[in-house]
Amino acid sequence: MPEDKKSAKGWPIGIAVFYASFVLFLLAALFLTAMDQDDLVTKDYYAAEQRYQEQIYRQQRTRALHEKPRLFFSDNEQLLTLSFPEEFPAASVSGTITFFRPSEADLDHTIPIELDDSGVQLIETAQLQKGRWKVKMLWQARGLEYYQEEVIVVR
């Protein structure tokens, strides 16, 4: 019988410990969520969304082309060849090529599109570090903007 009295006295302490633990958990959760920064990626997120929609339109225009610009990467020659189809005269094309390194943002760089008379641009890749690169082409022709991405791996 003395054991029943001992276990009967323990349950109020158990309940008190449970409630105290629950309150501490709630306070800790409140503190952690209050300290969490929910900064927006950009302050002008609405304008950024509009720009993103324009990017979608550029990609759709590129997909609708009968013949798209081609990138040919020769690792042996350390040369990237960009060639535009004949429907885009070289003089009417302007834009940029961005070499985007997903693993190291400091290596990203942008160069202008400068086609020769045959619609080709040769780009030396010797300065590119080994690894995966996204080549992002943004160009304008015939009053419209186009966008295309390709992945190359420098070995």
Task: Tell me which of 111 and 48 has the higher pLDDT.
Answer: 111
Structural contact between residues 58 and 146, judged by C-beta atoms closer than 8 angstroms? yes
Predicted pLDDT of residue 115 = 96
- pLDDT (tens digit per residue) in 80-110: 999 999 999 999 999 999 999 988 888 999 9
Q: Which residues share a beta bridge with 111?
A: 97
Q: Where along the chain do its domains lie?
A: 67-154
Structurally, at CATH architecture level, domain 67-154 sits in Sandwich (2.60)
Model confidence pLDDT, tens digit, residues 13-55: 889 999 999 999 999 999 988 876 655 556 777 787 888 899 9
Q: How far apart are CA 30 and CA 144, in angstroms?
A: 51
pLDDT computed for residue 118 by the predictor: 94
pLDDT greater at residue 135 or residue 11: 135
Pairing of the two strands 79-83 and 120-124:
antiparallel
Closest CA relative to residue 153, chosen from 67, 71, 95, 55: 71
Per-residue pLDDT reduced to its tens digit, 63-78: 999 999 999 999 888 8
pLDDT at 1 over 70: no
Query: In this structure, what token pair is assigned to residue 58?
Result: 């550029």
